[in-house]
Structure 1
Amino acid sequence: MNWLNTFNWGVIAMDGLLLIGKLLIAFIAFYVARAIGRKVISQSFTKMKKQRNISAGRSHTLEKLTVNILSYVLIFILVTFIAEMFGLSPSALIAGAGVVGLAVGFGAQGLVSDVVTGFFLLLEKQVDVGDYVTVAGLDGIVEEVGLRTTQIRGFDGTLYFIPNRNITDVHNHSRGNMRALVDVSIPYEENMDETIKVIQDACADLGDVKELIKEGPDVVGVEDLTTSLVTIRVIAKTENMHQWTVERHIRKVIKQAMDEYKRSKEEDN
């Protein structure tokens, strides 16, 4: 055990403490730089949105992408700094990474496809944060658009991470007015002309949701016939993401109007 006495434990302890101190400083600097960078980016995009009249969704999309790029850059700098602390040459690491990257590059075509697809999604403004879209067979609201994945929040609360290479078709439901469609089924014996008039009159008074409607609602007529029912269709054009609210309100006023119509007929009889 005499060989243990050959070590200068004081120097080793001091070097260890210095190494730990440097690591702490590096991580603190990383988090501080990231926090400052996020704040600067947020303020910059807020000003840009006002000065260049950029939509809120587009501004939020680019802001999140810029924050992600900043994080990647800071992580690379942190790793390089730590490598230098342990006596490793960053240039040697980069060269080694290049060789390894070349070796695995043929198996990383999916990643390259993700990045290329993500780039064109952003360049062509196909989707923005907050848009209601259908992509890869999923419906939801876009929460983040990155160079590798796109995050979609489903209406049941599920957050989907979709690799960009799987996005072959984009159905963006938030570009322009949306359609509110309501079908009303009534018995054959009802008078069609009177019923259509009752429905149209009911749709003329929609209260607060009237501000959400851009066109209509209009009764387009008989849509379908079955053995016992006649289906009458009502259509309106609404603001984005408000079509469901308008549809629910139209159904409500039609139900109330039809009940009143039936009561008045019973009283007349």
Structure 2
Amino acid sequence: MTFKQILMAILEKGPRVALIILLALLIDWLIRRALRKLADRMREQALPGVGPRAVTLVKTAGSLAKYTVFFTAALMILTQLGISPMPVLAGAGIAGLAVGFGAQTLVRDVVSGFFILLEGQYDVGEMVEINGVVGKVESVGLRMTKLKDNRGQTYYFPNGAITSVNAFPEEGSTYMLHIPAEEARTDIVGKAVEVMLEDFNDEYGTFALTSTLVGTKSLSSYANVLLFKLTLHPSRLAVTLEKLPARLKTSLERAGLALPEGTEISMMPELHSDH
């Protein structure tokens, strides 16, 4: 088409073109309004992490909807003006292909981030293990997840590079620590173990809550078992299960409070009975 023909088409089809533009603006406004209401409703539920996730998802969905609406409107306007959109799409496809090779990683990160947010795989403030690194989630964006470990070190993971995620319970893991002691030394061993647990906690940052001596039970005519309830920090669960029993046994032996012959210190998950 010549420039004169395009100009005549604009004058002739002007009202229809204006109507398409107005409809596109109206549809975009309605979509954004609906998404804002949805985000507000999600925030009102007061669920952990829903607020930040809702905001990010609304922004992303709004942007996608906006581009889709106006791209469709542009194609309709071209058709109204008598211009075939196919050459335009072909040119855009070639340019997009060239840019795409350089933006593959970015696209992969954004797509992965969108599904992380949509599925709620983890939220800000949760304790997780990502690609073998344990820490608290500082932020979750479309492109990157920020994690901080118990030493204060910050890690940045491109969402497309995340291959494994392990989410820990917020309240920590509760274990019962069983420590055998000679009946005559039960009280002394109990006080010594409390000090040893505090020292272990200071060294490893292990307990989400203070360890508690919940009682004793008879093991034999000459020995008892001290029962300690421990709430273990999710990120330090493995090191605690591995090191604490042996550490306590060695410390008690050095203090002249060796375990009764044939007994061992053990740790077991707390069992909850359903009523």
Q: TM-score range by the shorter chain?
A: 0.3 to 0.5
User: What TM-score comes out, normalization by structure 1 length?
Assistant: 0.41
The TM-score normalised by the length of structure 2 is 0.41
